[in-house]
Structure 1
Amino acid sequence: AKPPGFEEPEFVGLLSLELRGSQGRNLAGYMVVQNDTPNLGHMQFYEVPIESATKLLGPTSVREALDRDPDFAQLKTLLRNPRIGDNILYQVGEHDTYFIPVYTAGAGGVVAQLGTIAAVGAAFTGEYYVGLGDTQESAFEAYLQKVAGIAPTASAASGGMGIVLDKDARLDAVLAIFEGKGIIISTPTTIQFPLSFSIGDTAFYSKADLESTTELVSEFISKAGVGKRILMWEEENRINFGFIKVVDNTSELHYIAIEVGS
Structure 2
Amino acid sequence: NSIRLAVGYAGVALAALVGISAAGIDLSNLALVAGALSLGIGFGLQNVVSNFVSGLILLAERPFKVGDWIVAGDISGTVRKISVRATEIETFQRQSVILPNSNLINNAVGNWTHRNKLGRVDIKVGVAYGSDVKRVHAVLLGICRAHPMVLKNPEPFVLFANFGPAALEFEIRVFVADVLNGSIVQNDIRFAIFDIFEDEHIEIPSAPRAVVESKKRESWPIDDDKIEAEFAERERLEAEAAAEQARLAKTKRRGRKPDPD
TM-score, normalised with respect to structure 1? 0.26
- Structure showing greater radius of gyration is 2
More strand per residue: 1
More helix per residue: 2
TM-score, normalised with respect to structure 2? 0.26
